[in-house]
Structure 1
Amino acid sequence: MILYIFSGLLGLMALTIPVGIVLFLLGFGIDQFFTPFPLIRGLGQFVWSSSNSSTLIAIPFFVLLGEVLVRGGVAAKTYAALDRWLSWLPGGLIHANIGTATLFSATSGSSVATAATVATVAMPQAEKLGYDPRLFSGAIAAGGTLGIMIPPSINLIVYGFLTETSIPQLFVAGLIPGLMLAVGFSMMTVLICMVRPELGGESRRYPFPEMLGVLVHLIPIFLLFAAIVGSIYRGWATPTEAAAVGVGMAFVIAAFSGGVNWPMLKESLYGTMRITAMIMLVVLGAAFLNFTLSSAGLGRELRAFMEGLGFTPFMTLMVIVLIYIVLGFFIETLSLMVITIPIMVPIVVGLGYDPIWFGILMIVLVEMALITPPVGLNLYVVQGARRGGNLSEVMVGAIPYAVLMLLMAFLLIAVPDLALWLPKNL
């Protein structure tokens, strides 16, 4: 059955069939060949019951929140403010890229949207100031990956939905690792630019009164983040309710920035519908595949197979990490998560590992997939925002940051409390 799943997955995706449809087709195949009764007869009821979830309603709200902030002109002002505070470091403007990506990760919930936002604003500055295109674009692609780690994260919502894990706990668990990655990206940039100063462009300093003056553009983003995550964790609001409040606050912020008008509203709603439809098709396909896999007894087969290998829990975990690294080269991030969650999570939990901790570890591993060729979406998003140049430049520039993510994954394995300390103590 395992051979059927992965050969069928790779074969159908090679035909450029949308991932959501591939998942349904795999589920139909399992139903046909591996289950004793036709599950397809209940497909309509299953799809309705799976999609009729208050948890999933949070997804379009968070997507709309990010669309409003991006199209409302908030991104440009945030970027300019961080430029004045961070460009004195070795690497100059690259740190503003990482800082902007970190802040927008705390509002948009999407890595691709975060990378696209920062790339659109930053690329003209890189060309004007003469930065090395490899390092500059690679840092943007890496910074964008924080969108699925720092809460609120659409991918963590999907993980919580499919594994029945507490979404507030997942949000809080991702905060420390996400901030550590952001700081790590900046430290990696400093190290590279100290060794090769010509790659980082010119460091710039601004008068302190000017630096204080631009802080007003950062306050709304911090308030928005505090309102969303704080209300969820304190139990004042569900993720869906907090997302709805966040959308209202985003419109207010965009209005004060002078960015609310009919074209902006139309583009935000269109973008939200397009992204949400894609996400929901993948999630429902994954839920159906999960249902058929459980009915066919795959979980029992895998546990028996792993026990037969005689591996220790740690060795099994290392095999799973290696599987994610390899699959990340070929499968898009959300698809990689929803395909593997029904297979991997029962094994990991059966070994005695915490599902919240494994959710954060999985996010770090699939973040790597966003900046590793040939399917790393953030690489293509950043390349699309450039004026000329080769995609290979973005790929080369992202390599140091991908290595840093791998080190972060091993650090999480060595010190699980990096993800679990906040959920246990808040």
Structure 2
Amino acid sequence: MLVRTRRGRLALSRAAKTIAILSVLWTIYDVLRVRHHLARSSAVEPPQFRNEKIFIASIHWTDEAVLRSHWAPAVAQLARDIGPANVFVSIHESGSFDDTKSVLQILDADLELSGVRRRIVLDDATHKDEVEKSRAESGWLRMPGEKSYRENWTEWFTLEKGTWVLLLPIAFVFVMLHADWWLQVPRRIPYLAGIRNQAMQPLYELQQSGEVFDKVLWLNDVVFTTDDVRKLLGTRGGDYAAACALDFKKPPLTYDTFALRDSEGSPALMETWPFFRSSESRRAVKHGQPVPVASCWNGMVVFDAAPFYHSERPLAFRGIADDLAEAHLEGSECCLVHADNALSSSKGVWVNPHVRVGYNGTAYEAVNPANGASWLSSLDIATGLWRNRMGRWLRALHMTDTTVQQRLQTWQSQALDRRELGAFCLIDEMQIMLWNGWGHA
């Protein structure tokens, strides 16, 4: 009996060693294959600008530092490289706490000298003004007065991250509770969607004068170069409904998880490479190819302009319905726009993994190293592959959280005409406007 036990343990030990050796060999092979694909695909030179008309749009709030150090000079250079005849720059800024307006005024003068057409709106309206407005027909939430709200952290807030604050004085809340009143607060996403739509207005004014654009390029307050834009525009030879970069604030973590959904409509499985859960999206990123996704934004995104010109229902930015948001759900306007885009199903939405932008110079340099070096080490690739694999295995073992789906189904069942095309954009969250920014409720 003792001999059999020893033999069994020896067999198990040998099996474990064999599995370990095979796993190591498999990982080495995987890493070498990925490095080969990434090196080959990244060696392709970015295409030159074709004779396309490009409408550049951007919105800003309290982002003076990166605008002054990187963004504004990059936009001016990009416009010159595209050519004044083929570009229009539309920027909308509102209520910044810092000197963002001054930077944009300098950019305005720079573009003027280069003969670049533009509209730069510097709006004095602040978030406080929005919060104190009378309730509009849409874009506001009704919430019980006893609720408290966690203020979102940003670098200029005086509150610590995670601090909970009441939006109204305690005495007033007490009166509300006993009177069965409701707290009315403006929503963040419809506010942002409205500003984005305002930034798109020159596109339609130019159309009325006979000028039509081929592409719409949206830029966040990121560090980028003209070559980055050329690569993005050249994604799949220019054949796409939309194409996005990857964005980073604290590499190697990607930043925009609110709008990013893989080819199956699932959020990114992880914030580091290879990011995705779906096999189709994961396979593409491992080969360094354009990645099929359901939606993305990621700091920089280019659209085929045609849907914005649709005669009956032009593509526009929006938020989800207010009564759906009251169920404690939210969806990014940057995701919903892809759900509404008729070209998304035919031409596809893609992430170009060779276009990587940063929210500061350090982040940009980390994901775009000098001398053509790879931004991913062999260790990054090996650990990324195994973390992704383990994440998928663990997800398969756990029950799926159906909270969002159940709330959506309840909302849809309450009226026959209720439908949300961007169901894959929804998350279990509520975002509201505050006097100095926005917060989670």
TM-score between the two structures when normalised by the length of structure 1? 0.26
TM-score between the two structures when normalised by the length of structure 2? 0.25
- Of Structure 1 and Structure 2, the greater helix share is in 1
Larger Rg: 2
Higher RCO, 1 vs 2 (CA within 8 Å, ≥6 residues apart) = 1
